[in-house]
Structures are given as structure tokens and as C-alpha cells.
Structure 1
Amino acid sequence: MRCIFWDREARNVYYVGVSSDPTRCLEFHNSQETRFTARYRPWKMIFMKRYPGRSEALAIERRIKSWESKLMIARIVSGEIKI
């Protein structure tokens, strides 16, 4: 299971999610009408980390979303913060 981040270039908008197939998930969100992601297409993958199981990946996703901080996500992507 993987925790993934996408961004919409030049907009400072991030998506954080969990998927067993991040490439397929990214393709879906770039091609389908979904609530949040459709507004900011096209998306590109900027970070992905593999976790041993779904529960670990979901726990990290919840922690990141609880921060509600684009700066913290940028620090994770840059490697400044390890998750």
C-alpha cells in the first residue's frame, strides 16, 4: 500500500491519498469528473511512499490531512520531514 501526493503545477494545491495502484489512480483523477480533483487537472505525482499495509498508509494519510498545511506537505516532499 502506498501513500501518495499529487500537485497541480503552479497552483499550490495538493491531493493526499492511499492507493494500491497509484498510477491507475492518477490516470483516473486526470480523466474523470470527480469532485475535488476535476477542478485542478492535470495532476502529477510528486511523492509516493510504500507502507507494509493499508492500515499504516491510512494512519499516515490521516496525520497529514490533520495538519491542514501545504507547507508541511512541501516539507515532506522535499525530504525535510520524514514520514
Structure 2
Amino acid sequence: MDLIRYYIGSTSDIGKRLKKHLQNHKGYTARAKDWKLVYHEVFSTKAGAYARERKIKSWKSRVMIEKLIN
């Protein structure tokens, strides 16, 4: 069974960001070549998006993230 990993981040261009994660590069997202978007939220400010990103990352809980997605 493959381990499902969730990447949490913020960007102004989701398509461009996903494409970058799927390209050859170094770093966390380089380990997998099958990233797909499963959930997103839209914010009117970069500060709001970053605050939400920090909040979700602070959970450190797969269960909480999966509840959010579903």
C-alpha cells in the first residue's frame, strides 16, 4: 500500500505551481511525480492564504486534513 502524502501550500497560480511540482527538481515535492490537486480554497489576500496555510500545517494531523478534504 502506497503512503498518501499531502502537500500544503499557497500560490497565486495553482496550475503553474502543480506543473512545477511535477517537473524534475530537488526538494520535498521532487520525490513524487504523481501530485494531484484534491482540495483548494480561495482568498482575497496573500496574508489570508498564508494564515490558513499555517493553521492547516499546525494541525500536524492526517485525520484533520482528510476531514477537510472530504
TM-score, normalized by length of structure 1?
Answer: 0.78
Gaps of at least 5 residues in structure 2 are none
Gaps of at least 5 residues in structure 1 are 1-9, 79-83
Q: CA RMSD in A?
A: 1.0
Residue 34 of structure 1 and its aligned partner are, at CA, apart by 3.0
Q: Give the partner amino acid of 2:24.
A: Q
Rg larger for:
2
% identity of equivalent residues:
33
Give the structure with the larger strand fraction.
1
TM-score, normalized by length of structure 2?
Answer: 0.91
Match in the other structure for 1:53: 45
Answer 1 or 2: higher relative contact order, Cα 8 Å, separation at least 6: 1
How many pairs does the alignment contain? Answer: 69
